[in-house]
Structure 1
Amino acid sequence: AKVAPGYNVVTERHGTITTIGINRPEARNAVNQETAALLLQAFTSFEEDRSLTAAVLYGIGGNFCAGYDLKELAHSPTSIKLEQDVTKGPGPMGPSRMKFSKPVIAAVSGYAVAGGLELSLLADLRVVEESAVFGVFCRRFGVPLIDGGTVRLPKLIGLSRALDLILTGRPVGAQEAYEFGLANRIVPNGQALQYAIELAEQISAFPQECMHGDRNSAYYGVFDASSFTEAMQFEFDTGVQVLLKESVPGAKKFSLGYGRGGKL
């Protein structure tokens, strides 16, 4: 797909990787209703396409996403349709209520604030440019986090640090975000997208069923398990299914000398 005016979301395929770009640079990639619907469509297509192994979400034109389009909200407050039951419809930002079965990486440049911060939290990993800024900037306008920010952020970086961001609405630069565990990699300006694609390709080269199982178990343990024992049981039940499919062939490769000495 070509980046062109009028296309609020641009998707492109790189082998088994899909990139999903928010394309409203004139609004710092703020998400309006149309963009939210297109983001939902793009992520749904990714989730359903078995030939795709990972997705990279990014913003075109220097910013990741400045949140929900407050101009649209101000001019037509009744236009925003909110599905109250989170199991029955999308969030205001689009795909924010989704759980993915495959890795998603966010390539963050410029501002990832308010709903844009929430979109970045959808990803498993965040590759962040040196000048990027995170923050709950919607704090100053009385706009709540209703796209998972109060759910995902405390789980990701801990309640104390999450409350620091949520209560103050202050800007957080790349280095502090890295120290918090919000940023997973810091890269030079202009390189987040390329680095994220390469990281997605690296992850996609591993035996997939085993990686998906470990990833799924990590999410289950953090968000769904009611006890340590339940989480441990889920991990074992998930892992044992791939032992014969991928672990035995992997062990045979190891015995022949592949992957020793820490080589990937």
Structure 2
Amino acid sequence: MTKAIDYLAKCVHITCQNATQNRCNVEVLGFSKTFHVDIPAKEDPSKNTVLFSKDGNITLIGLNKDNDGNTIDAETAIKICDAFIKFESDDASPVAVLYGVGESFCTGFDILDLASDERSEISMDILMLPEGSVGPTRRMLTKPVVCAITGYCVASGMELALSCDQRVMETTAKMGFFNRRFGVPIIDGGTARLPAIIGISRALDLILTGRILEATEAYEIGVANKVVPVGDALKEAVNLAQFLSKFPQEALKHDRKSMQESSFEAIGFESAIQNEIMSITKEIVDEMQDGAKWFYRNFKINNTGTWMPAEMTMADWDNKVVVKEAAKVKNFKDVEHIPVIKQVIGPHKNDIEKNAVCTSEKEDGNDKDKNNK
């Protein structure tokens, strides 16, 4: 047998003809065949997108993407999963802290990783990732995790935070399912966890509207467990983790697991997650593709703008306020053709023109009084 193996080893020759295209040529006894093989790219050690460290017996996992919002692509999601597996296998570390490096915790999955001008279709691989598109969001972690929330914690980034046991939120931090405006569905456990945390009525409000959830409201409805001053989220999250680590861990883990199971007793957590993923239809995928492509055209090609919502100067849902503010425009006819203005205040055109006339007459009267004086 040994002689046969030695003979074959001399007869087999493997050479890489084109490393950039992952092609290798295998020659056996004079016959050659070219195969496509997966050659893993060498990782740049200077660009560590997921930080893993220890503070005593507390594990620290940091999102360190080189962008403003800590968006997560597929490669980074796998690294986050690996970090949590490493934490769960460490018997000396009972609690972990998840945080974001930079101004924001996480703004979700990188939509630009899905769409580009070179592809007519976007990849649906994120739906099939066993752990989740932004980390281990599609399973229950075996040990407690505290999340430190800074800046924006939105879209699937909010789902990642919801997968943690406790959330420490800075006063200026904001949460919300901003993916609603791009037609991207919730696919990382949000539809299963959020109703269990705050009830279905409030969960429907946040999920259907995609509105901003400020820190004060997040604390009042139970999404945030603690609100701290700006700059203190990570410190307070570590303090909370250290507090939890001082208790006997077997009883703590038992009670934690029992609560999780009872929260999803009706259909089971796994069934809820499967329902969330398997209910994705072709129509939803089409909308998701359109939203991703729109995002690419507006913020990849021309990156001078931002998709973060600006502070509103007036309540656009209050018709009375809309009419009152629109009436202040003296030359209303010069702007009424603009689509967004036409859509918002078009139905109230008559009221606006009446108010504008009244305002104009009032101003003329004031001018006359000033002249008489």
- Give the TM-score normalised by structure 1: 0.79
| CA root-mean-square deviation | 1.8
CA contact (8 A) 1:20 1:56 kept: yes
Post-superposition Cα deviations, 1:196-222, rounded to whole Å, max 9, x if no partner, equal 011100110011111111111111111
Q: Give the match for residue 76 of structure 2.
A: 35
Q: Give the match for residue 181 of structure 1.
A: 222
Shift of the 32–187 alpha-carbon distance from structure 1 to 2, 3 Å rule, reads same
Q: Give the match for residue 198 of structure 1.
A: 239
- Counterparts of 1:129 and 1:138 in 2: how far apart (Å)? 22
Q: Does 1:149 align with 2:190?
A: yes
- Counterparts of 2:205 and 2:180 in 1: how far apart (Å)? 12
3-state DSSP of counterpart to 2:52? strand
CA contact (8 A) 2:74 2:126 kept: no
- Counterparts of 2:114 and 2:88 in 1: how far apart (Å)? 29
3-state DSSP of counterpart to 2:239? helix
> % of aligned pairs identical?
48
CA contact (8 A) 1:46 1:52 kept: yes
Q: Aligned partner of 1:206: which letter? A: F
- Counterparts of 1:195 and 1:82 in 2: how far apart (Å)? 33
Which structure would you say has the larger Rg? 2
CA contact (8 A) 1:25 1:60 kept: no
Structure with higher RCO (Cα < 8 A, 6+ apart) = 1
Post-superposition Cα deviations, 1:59-110, rounded to whole Å, max 9, x if no partner, equal 10020100110111122654552454x8xx2221121112112111100000
- Counterparts of 1:134 and 1:101 in 2: how far apart (Å)? 25
- Counterparts of 1:44 and 1:178 in 2: how far apart (Å)? 29
Q: Count the aligned residue pairs.
A: 221
Q: Give the match for residue 110 of structure 1.
A: 151
Post-superposition Cα deviations, 1:147-191, rounded to whole Å, max 9, x if no partner, equal 001110111111011111111110010000001100000000111
State which drifts further: 215-224 or 199-208: 215-224
3-state DSSP of counterpart to 1:13? strand
CA contact (8 A) 2:137 2:163 kept: yes
Q: Does 1:214 align with 2:255?
A: yes
Q: CA deviation at 1:27?
A: 3.9
Q: 1:57-206 maps to which residues of 2 (within 5 A)? A: 57-75=98-116, 78-79=122-123, 81-82=125-126, 84=128, 89-206=130-247
CA contact (8 A) 2:49 2:66 kept: no
Q: Aligned partner of 2:214: which letter? A: G
CA contact (8 A) 1:68 1:115 kept: yes
Alignment equivalent of 1:11, drawn from 52, 60, 79: 52
Q: CA deviation at 1:224?
A: 3.2
